[in-house]
C-alpha cells in the first residue's frame, strides 16, 4: 500500500499546532508530525506527506525524505490539495493508494479513482491495531508423525483401556450435558 497524507490537515486534526505560533512553531509542528508518522509506519512503508508551499521552510528542497517518509511541498501556485489530487490522478495503481485527509474534496477524488480514503480517525484506528502475526507455516509431510503400529495400539489399550468404563471419566467427558 501507498499512503498519501494531507500534512497540515493532519497536524491540525492531531492537535500538533497552536493558534498563535511562536517563531519556528510551524517547523516544530511539522517535525513532530514527521517523527510521529516515521515511528508509526516505519522506514519501509511508502508514505508521502504533502504540505502547502506557502508554509515551506526557506532555502530547502520542495522534495525531501525523513526516515523513509517522502515529503513534498506543493509547487508555487498550487495548494497541497491540488498537489494531492494530481498525485491521485497520476497513481499507476490507485487501488493500492490510501489517501488520508478529512477534506471531502480529497476523499471524493480518491474514491473516483478507486483509491481508499481514510479520515484521521481511521488512520489512528489503523495505527492502534496490532499487526496480525504471520499465519503458521504448514508442516511438511516429512514432519507428520508416523501412524501407531498395531502392537503399540494394543499396548496403549492394555494400559488405559479400563478408563473407558470409569464412571467418573464418563461423566467428565459427557459432552451431551453441555447442549
Q: What's the CATH code of the domain at 14? A: 3.40.50
On whether both 9 and 75 belong to a single domain, the answer is yes
On whether both 105 and 62 belong to a single domain, the answer is yes
pLDDT at 138: 42
Q: Flag the least confident range among 58-62, 106-110, 168-172.
A: 168-172
On whether both 47 and 81 belong to a single domain, the answer is yes
**Bigger pLDDT: 131 or 38?**
38
Distance CA 100, CA 116 (A): 9
| Average pLDDT score over residue span 89-101 | 96
On whether both 43 and 106 belong to a single domain, the answer is yes
Whether 136 is in a domain gets the answer no
Nearest CA to 5 among 66, 72, 78, 76? 72
Distance CA 125, CA 128 (A): 5
Whether 138 is in a domain gets the answer no
On whether both 118 and 60 belong to a single domain, the answer is yes
On whether both 74 and 33 belong to a single domain, the answer is yes
pLDDT at 16: 87
On whether both 158 and 109 belong to a single domain, the answer is no
Q: Are strands 46-51 and 63-66 parallel, antiparallel or unpaired?
A: unpaired
Whether 86 is in a domain gets the answer yes
Residue 62 DSSP symbol: S
pLDDT in tens, 98-151: 999 999 999 999 999 999 999 999 999 998 886 544 444 444 444 556 677 788
| Average pLDDT score over residue span 44-66 | 85
pLDDT at 98: 96
pLDDT at 13 over 60: yes
Angle (CA) 82 63 43, round 5°: 105
CB atoms within 10 A of CB 31: 13
Whether 102 is in a domain gets the answer yes
On whether both 105 and 165 belong to a single domain, the answer is no
Nearest CA to 5 among 125, 123, 109? 123
Radius of gyration over every alpha carbon of the chain, rounded to an integer in angstroms: 29
Range of the domain at 159: 146-178
pLDDT at 19 over 80: no
- What mean pLDDT value characterizes the chain? 82
pLDDT at 158: 76
Whether 95 is in a domain gets the answer yes
Whether 140 is in a domain gets the answer no
On whether both 116 and 150 belong to a single domain, the answer is no
Phi, psi (degrees; rounded to nearest 5) at 108: -65, -40
* Domains contained in the chain, number: 2
pLDDT at 176 over 70: no
Which of 13-17, 50-54, 77-81 is most confident? Answer: 77-81
Amino acid at each position: 500500500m501507498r499512503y498519501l497524507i494531507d500534512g497540515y490537515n493532519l497536524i491540525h486534526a492531531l492537535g500538533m499546532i497552536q493558534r498563535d505560533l511562536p517563531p519556528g512553531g510551524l517547523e516544530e509542528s511539522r517535525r513532530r508530525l514527521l517523527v510521529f508518522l516515521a515511528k508509526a509506519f516505519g522506514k519501509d512503508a511508502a508514505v508521502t506527506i504533502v504540505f502547502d508551499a506557502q508554509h515551506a521552510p526557506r532555502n530547502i528542497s520542495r522534495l525531501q525524505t525523513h526516515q523513509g517518509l517522502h515529503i513534498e511541498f506543493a509547487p508555487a501556485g498550487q495548494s497541497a490539495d491540488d498537489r494531492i489530487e494530481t498525485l491521485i490522478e497520476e497513481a499507476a495503481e490507485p487501488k493500492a493508494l490510501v489517501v488520508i485527509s478529512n477534506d471531502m474534496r480529497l476523499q471524493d477524488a480518491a474514491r473516483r479513482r478507486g483509491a481508499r480514503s481514510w479520515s484521521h480517525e481511521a488512520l489512528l484506528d489503523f495505527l492502534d491495531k496490532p499487526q496480525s502475526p504471520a499465519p503458521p507455516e504448514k508442516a511438511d509431510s516429512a514432519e507428520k508423525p508416523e501412524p501407531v503400529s498395531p502392537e503399540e495400539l494394543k499396548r496403549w489399550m492394555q494400559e488405559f483401556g479400563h478408563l473407558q468404563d470409569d464412571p467418573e471419566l464418563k461423566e467428565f467427558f459427557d459432552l451431551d450435558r453441555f447442549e
